[in-house]
Structure 1
Amino acid sequence: MREYRPNEIEKKWHDIWDERQPFKASNESNKPKFYALVEFPYPSGEGLHVGHPRPYTALDIVSRKRRLEGYNVLYPMGWDAFGLPTENYAIKHKIHPETVTERNVARFKSQLKSIGFSFDWAREINTTDPHYYKWTQWIFLKLYEKGLAYKQEMPINWCPSCKVGLANEEVIQGTCERCSGEVVRKVKNQWMLKITEYADRLISDLDKVDYIERVKAQQTNWIGKSEGAEVDFQIAGKEDKLRVFTTRPDTLFGSTYMVIAAEHPLIEKYKEEITNLDEIHEYQHEVGKKSDFERTELSKDKTGIEIKGLTAINPASGGEIPIWISDYVLMSYGTGAIMAVPGHDTRDWEFAKKFNLPIIEVIKGGDVEKEAFTDTEEGIAINSDFINGMEVKEAKEYMIKWLEDKNLGTRKVNFKLRDWVFSRQRYWGEPIPLIHCDECGWVPVPEKELPVMLPDVENYEPADNGESPLANIIDWVETTCPKCGGKGKRETDTMPQWAGSSWYFLRYIDPFNEEKFASQEALNYWLPVDWYNGGMEHTTLHLLYSRFWHKFLYDIGVVPIPEPYAKRTSHGMILGDNNEKMSKSRGNVINPDDIVRDYGADTLRTYEMFIGDFEKSVPWSENGVKGCRRFLERVWKLQDILVDGEDYTKELESSIHKTIKKVSEDFETLKFNTGIAALMSLLNEFNDHGSIKKEDLKTFIILLNPVAPHITEEMWEILGLEGYLHETAWPKYDEEKTRDKVIDLPVQVNGKVRGTIQISVDESQDIAREKAKADENINRFLEGKNIVKEIFVPGKIYNIVVK
């Protein structure tokens, strides 16, 4: 037997697969379909690290198993290639983003192919391909036609140094992540998508899908549905009112101050009457340096300024209360104002304690001087005039009705979810297919003229005024209005990276269709995606956005079902060997190319699945890699103990059937590590027995094939088995043969377990009685007593009732 040389074997099988295309899915098949989906990667210049293959290997295992079970499997791959990182790299190195993208895609693809994933490369897509983004633009136009895309003045994070708007995640403690320069807030006209129109359905339809609970929870929490009332607080002596939303109208009598956003327009309106305007302006400047995320999620220290000269009227008590500004209230979320009830809210309590503001207990229980009454959903209303003595639930309803009767408020369902900011003042993104005409306003580009191509440019630097680099290409910007034929100007903002990734799973279904993004027949056949796996970091925005787009497409009749993904699972990260997240700055990134070169792709795949619980983060271990390589070498050497014979070896048959059952179940429930462990145990049994037959080895390598496809295909060929392994059938187990012949049977006396007896699974009750009496521990509970009843369940339990 020749030595195990993975590099030779793996290259051979990659060439065979490239030639034969065994993983190519068909849109017309009489087989049951299975659509497996992983998040397509952003092709960065750094290439893959060993964390990337973990989810790909997991669904590759499931996909390979499904093919062996007779399914028509679609397991596609593509590139989420528009976006800021490529553009930044292009600006820094003076290389066109398209060139950078092509180079990065080629590197990523070669790495993925070297690992042996069974992707259907015939369906490869790229979000920067005009044939793809034509349909991204088409979907945007449909959203615009239905009133779900609109333009609005919005504050953005602005870096004066980079001359660009930044996402919240790109602002670190008030500075730009890229250049460390100070970030300010700037108001820009932005395209928005009205995702809030779908907020209720995005929550309720989670009941229709098989998502792991933590994914459902993240979706639900991000949308943040809450029921309550909108309440008007009159500004004392003015016509203006401050409207707030509250889930707890029953605590209205406990509202002792209000907080409004630092950028609230009423500050400017009443600046002549505010006596501490300079102090407020200084605070506004400091708040302007923070991103929304820093203001709401990271803000630990309570800061704020009282607006001196303005007060509000509590509509329940009629008393005047002060108005403050603070960074944790945003103009872009809700009404830009809150009523503060420090007796029953932790944040309000901390704020009130810091600034010595009144705290009133209005729900009975606790000590307001020692702790806040957070989430007090039960109790009795006190210090609340006409609702005193009411339970919380009754008090809520009564107050809403009272507010509506007095025209001071109304019942309201609110969502934390905000409309989607869809504009980017950048070059490397999909052009927004709209033209502005002074006479006609915004006019859609006719569908027959799609795609609106991204023009070639030499300079990708954004303008000083924050406009997209496209704004400088006059011959591209200036065009004709499709409606009136007059002068028009193209929109120069581009779409965010989220756009292309919101519908990519649909294009895989029919990637070369020029008439539609996919044919109705193909959509009807493949949808929904049967199993979608991705990182937990994408279970809020990406998952939410793609579900929103899909629901919209369902509403306009172009997809057949309301939810895109039947099942959604998630995986944990692979950390560096120092137990920290892999990153270049930490110096702990492991390149999969090195593992493939030194140990083989099958070793990498096996280790990635054996490393630990798939759903949890785990540290990388070089010793673990070496252990998996040794396992595969032992598999290879099974050829040394092969003897003649066609059926299973009798002494191994039960273990083989148990392993088929265990591996089959574990591969379907993300327990890849225990499935591989079962194969390792069976390998030990084979070696302990000293010989195996061809059928034993055949079954073993089929079970291992989804994890380690190269070595198993090679062994299949060496064994002279018919055809290719990937053309065979997944083994079936006999349930009867998975049962142990001799078991430890629990014996109860009067309902309490008093011991166990070793007994054959098909032994009689009489034999069980004899063995129970022969057991010292059990017999002492039987001696001198009469047996009045016996309950004997073969293979399960033996219960003796005595008196």
Structure 2
Amino acid sequence: MQTEYRDAFDDIERKWQERWKVDRVFEAPRLPSGRRFYCLEMLPYPSGRLHMGHVRNYSIGDAVARFQGMRGRQVLHPMGWDSFGLPAENAAIKHGTHPAQWTNENIVAMGAQLRRLGLSYDWTREIAAHRPDYYRWNQWFFLKMFERGLAYRSRRFVNWCGSCQTVLANEQVENGRCWRCDSIVGRTELDQWFFKITAYASELDSELDSMTGWPERVRVMQRNWIGKSEGAAIRFPILDGEGRPTGDALEVFTTRLDTIFGATFCVVAARHPILGRIPSDSGSRRRLDEFLRRIDARDVTRAGMEPEEKEGIDTGLRVRNPYNGEVLPVWTANFVLMEYGTGAIMAVPAHDERDFEFARKYGLPIRTVIAPAPPALPEVGSPSAAMIGDGVLVASGPYTGQDSATARQSMLGDGEKEGFARAMVQYRLLDWGISRQRYWGTPIPMIYCKRCGVVPVPEKDLPVVLPEDVPLTGVGGSPLARVTSFVETRCPVCGGPGRRETDTMDTFVDSSWYFYRYCDPRNDRSPFDPEVARAWFPIDLYVGGITHATLHLIYCRFFTKVLRDLGLVALDEPVKNLLCQGMVLKGGTAMSKSKGNTVDPDDMVQRYGADTTRLFTLFAAPPEKDLEWNEKGVEGCFRFLERVWRLFMPRASEIARAPLPAEEDGADQARRARLRRRVHQTIERVTTDIERRLHLNTPVAALMELLNEAQDFSRDADGADLPYLKEVGLNLALLLQPFAPHVSEELWTSLGGQGNAVRQAWPAPLARWRREEQVEIPVQVNGRLRGHLLAAPSISEAEALSQAQGDARVAVHLRGRPIRKTIYLPGKLLNIVLG
């Protein structure tokens, strides 16, 4: 055996990785037979190389998976690849390779890196989104949603690069220009496919309250993204050029009906249908068209967000406020979205900051109708800022004097009776646009027939497979549209000529249900067996970055509800507990190639070993906090493992032959008792920190303290002390398993442990030794020794006094005299001073 850990770590890590593979240690049963635990980290995109953020994420999940397995649970801990996406297409264009080749080579390379880290994955369940046996089921889900009206085609505005002739996602637009060719990006209408996620908006919002295993920050982010608003829809009659009602109305949504007497204009979205009333040959139409061209050319990276500069024009249209009869101008502006509410608002500048800013810019009236409660003196002239809170109504006709909450109810009731108002719940969440004019994604399984219209591909013809010979240039729209052999097909209804859909699906579709496929990855008859999913779900722990809070983590919840309604799963939410790990920083900023502050995991593993690399990512910070990379900290973790090695390995065979001490052994010798107490208190502390708190850094600190105690003990150890060193070593080996599993295995077997350490039961502390040691505390009365207490060193002053008063030897000296004060040296002395 090599005597130095520095010379041994590479050999032992490779040895145990091979042993785990041969023994099939991490392969989960198809159906769990007892207590189970589904541990999952978000699957990676196969970019070619792991970064330290990956290592931290996967080390956290691996530590929990190993711990839960040793706690007696059958663990499902799978891994796969989110392998569709634009980077592969870009690499193909840049290097002249096929996306499949680039992707497959990266999967091999990253898979080797993951295996070299010794992560406890069940590789028999490996999946990859770009393989037809996986994306076939994306297409199947699409068809099922299409049948239920949850997948539909609609014409919407998108980011469009005229030079490249393609739609761009928001993240592909940089300062209003195309990331590829630097052309100005505009907005254009295209037919796109959507998933109707808004059909589940109410569920997605309301169930956040019961998801107590998720970080509050994530739940708040999702709640804001879903954006539930309760208010009213009000119909403002549209007037003609002579001020007469046209018979039509502009419907606006408001959450502040109590302010309607302060409305001084209305604002509609730039594409609102009411604008079609403006004559095509009028000056108003020319001004409107120029305005639309100008805002379409703005920085579209902020599309759907509040623009930095609010712009608008008066359309010349007029409506009437149904509550007070006032005629209001209709403006159009860049801060009202057609996708939210009704695409129209009533503007109340005195009580809305955005409306106030807009009114001040364009010289529009500002009228105060809400006063603070109790009412304060009104400002003279126009207010200097919007008063946005509730209060008491003023200048509001018959509602004057009512508080805001009461007024909203009475106004709504009156409006409902008159037929121009209705209660309305609105969500900011939009339907999910899944169409992408890209090659490397799941083909959308639809066919266009001149006779039959839009026709779904029959299930028996799935998967619609991506053709391999596709010209990838990065320009000219969807690459699939240029592949005649793919596009031209037969209509499955009439048999006539048809054309396939050439858009592919958003890659978030791939990651919205992959965790179910892990349960049954080789099923070729359905996405997965519902019985298997019921047995393994929900996911007990899901580990991933908070950057996914409002996309992936909402989409996967949506998919689960759809699968529930299809009868495939029997739950409402897929994830019981969510852990969002912090970022890995270097020099105070997130690691990135552009900043030149990355750390290569392979280099760390080569220099220090997988155990040290993993141990540092777990020890340096709590899982949910950012971790500052510090190579001195890495070296400190390496030295810790070196110390473990040097303490036990040189005399491992000698220790292995020693018997373990009986439960009562060592009580008669202070140093042995202290060591045993440290062992079992450490077991209890590590167990509690992982199981109840999901802390992973503090258990490592506890193991370091245990090692210090063991080293102190070993300095004076003789042959009779070997049983106690064996107890320390075997327990330390098991406690190290979640953090440094290779050292754990080597230490376990070297000291006489049988089988794989990872398959052992997690150690349980002995009740006798997990209690604090007891000490004798002298008790004085007026400075004279009257007795002793036998208690834990941490006993409080009040507890010590109470125990002393109950001791007959002390109590006899206290009778009939009041206690003036006590002098207490914790764990060392109690002096009772009598009056």
* Among candidates 497, 520, 527, match of residue 510 of structure 1: 520
Distance 1:415 1:11, change over 3 A: same
1:240 CA drift (Å): 4.5
**Structure 1: segments with no counterpart, 5+ residues:** 748-756, 775-781
- Correspondence 1:605-754 to 2 at 5 A: 605-639=614-648, 640=650, 644-647=658-661, 649-668=672-691, 669-690=693-714, 691=717, 692-735=724-767, 737-742=769-774
- Correspondence 1:236-247 to 2 at 5 A: 236-237=239-240, 238-247=246-255
Q: 1:777 maps to what in 2?
A: none
1:31 CA drift (Å): 2.9
* Among candidates 347, 361, 365, match of residue 368 of structure 2: 361
1:112 CA drift (Å): 1.0
* Among candidates 131, 134, 137, match of residue 135 of structure 1: 137
- Correspondence 1:92-131 to 2 at 5 A: 92-131=94-133
Q: 2:357 maps to what in 1?
A: 350
Q: 8 Å contact 2:789–2:803 — kept in the other structure?
A: no
Amino acid at match of 1:364: A
Distance 1:260 1:127, change over 3 A: same
Q: 8 Å contact 2:32–2:536 — kept in the other structure?
A: no
* Among candidates 390, 395, 411, match of residue 402 of structure 2: 390
Q: 2:439 maps to what in 1?
A: 427
Distance 1:168 1:770, change over 3 A: closer
1:340 and 2:347 equivalent?
Answer: yes
Q: 1:370 maps to what in 2?
A: 384
Q: 1:323 maps to what in 2?
A: 330
1:786 and 2:818 equivalent?
Answer: yes
Q: 8 Å contact 1:431–1:452 — kept in the other structure?
A: yes
Q: 1:306 maps to what in 2?
A: 313
Instruction: Map Cα deviations across residues 217-255 of structure 1 (whole Å, 9 max, x no partner).
Output: 222111111111111223332554322211111111112
Q: 8 Å contact 1:259–1:326 — kept in the other structure?
A: yes
1:482 CA drift (Å): 1.4
CA distance in 1, matches of 2:344, 2:277: 16
Q: So what's the TM-score if we normalise by structure 2?
A: 0.87
Instruction: Map Cα deviations across residues 430-467 of structure 1 (whole Å, 9 max, x no partner).
Output: 11111122222222211111111111223023663x3x
1:51 CA drift (Å): 0.8
Q: 1:2 maps to what in 2?
A: 3
Amino acid at match of 1:720: G
Q: 8 Å contact 1:666–1:675 — kept in the other structure?
A: yes
Distance 1:758 1:133, change over 3 A: farther
CA distance in 2, matches of 1:402, 1:744: 81
Instruction: Map Cα deviations across residues 655-687 of structure 1 (whole Å, 9 max, x no partner).
Output: 222211221122232311111111111111111
SS of 1:53's partner is helix
SS of 2:349's partner is coil
SS of 2:371's partner is coil
1:447 and 2:459 equivalent?
Answer: yes
Instruction: Map Cα deviations across residues 45-88 of structure 1 (whole Å, 9 max, x no partner).
Output: 3x111011112111111110111122111000000011112112
1:263 and 2:271 equivalent?
Answer: yes
Amino acid at match of 2:17: H
SS of 2:728's partner is helix
Count of residue pairs brought into register by the alignment: 772
1:734 CA drift (Å): 3.6
Q: 8 Å contact 1:579–1:618 — kept in the other structure?
A: no
CA distance in 2, matches of 1:433, 1:308: 43
Distance 1:28 1:556, change over 3 A: closer
Amino acid at match of 2:744: T
Q: 8 Å contact 1:173–1:294 — kept in the other structure?
A: no
1:552 CA drift (Å): 0.9
SS of 2:332's partner is strand
1:265 CA drift (Å): 4.0
1:23 and 2:26 equivalent?
Answer: yes
CA distance in 1, matches of 2:592, 2:694: 26
1:115 CA drift (Å): 1.0
Amino acid at match of 1:592: P
CA distance in 1, matches of 2:53, 2:638: 19
* Among candidates 70, 82, 85, match of residue 83 of structure 1: 85
CA distance in 2, matches of 1:250, 1:407: 18
Q: So what's the TM-score if we normalise by structure 1?
A: 0.90
CA distance in 2, matches of 1:558, 1:349: 51
Q: 8 Å contact 1:280–1:305 — kept in the other structure?
A: no
Q: 2:71 maps to what in 1?
A: 69
SS of 1:190's partner is strand
Q: Percent identity?
A: 43
Amino acid at match of 1:398: S
Amino acid at match of 1:281: D
Q: 8 Å contact 1:479–1:488 — kept in the other structure?
A: yes
- Correspondence 1:555-570 to 2 at 5 A: 555-570=565-580
Q: 8 Å contact 1:137–1:432 — kept in the other structure?
A: yes
CA distance in 1, matches of 2:96, 2:198: 40
* Among candidates 529, 533, 553, match of residue 543 of structure 2: 533
Distance 1:322 1:274, change over 3 A: farther
CA distance in 2, matches of 1:739, 1:539: 43
CA distance in 2, matches of 1:63, 1:695: 25
SS of 1:324's partner is strand
Deviates more, 1:641-650 or 1:221-230: 641-650
Backbone CA RMSD of aligned residues? 3.0
Amino acid at match of 1:42: Y
Q: 1:778 maps to what in 2?
A: none
Q: 8 Å contact 2:31–2:536 — kept in the other structure?
A: no
Instruction: Map Cα deviations across residues 113-134 of structure 1 (whole Å, 9 max, x no partner).
Output: 1111101001000011101111
For the pair shown, the structure with the greater C-alpha radius of gyration is 2
CA distance in 1, matches of 2:521, 2:279: 58
Instruction: Map Cα deviations across residues 488-543 of structure 1 (whole Å, 9 max, x no partner).
Output: 22111111101111110010000001111112321221111111121111121111
Amino acid at match of 2:467: P
CA distance in 2, matches of 1:159, 1:143: 31
Instruction: Map Cα deviations across residues 750-785 of structure 1 (whole Å, 9 max, x no partner).
Output: xxxxxxx996149999973596999xxxxxxx9997
Q: 8 Å contact 1:275–1:309 — kept in the other structure?
A: no
Amino acid at match of 1:112: L
* Among candidates 538, 545, 560, match of residue 550 of structure 1: 560
Q: 8 Å contact 1:554–1:560 — kept in the other structure?
A: yes
Amino acid at match of 2:757: L
1:650 CA drift (Å): 2.6
CA distance in 1, matches of 2:340, 2:767: 58
CA distance in 2, matches of 1:766, 1:618: 42
SS of 1:512's partner is coil
Amino acid at match of 2:225: W
Q: 8 Å contact 2:197–2:558 — kept in the other structure?
A: yes
Q: 2:45 maps to what in 1?
A: 42
CA distance in 2, matches of 1:708, 1:225: 46
Q: 8 Å contact 2:470–2:483 — kept in the other structure?
A: no
SS of 1:394's partner is helix
Q: 8 Å contact 1:306–1:322 — kept in the other structure?
A: no
Distance 1:234 1:761, change over 3 A: same
Q: 1:148 maps to what in 2?
A: 150
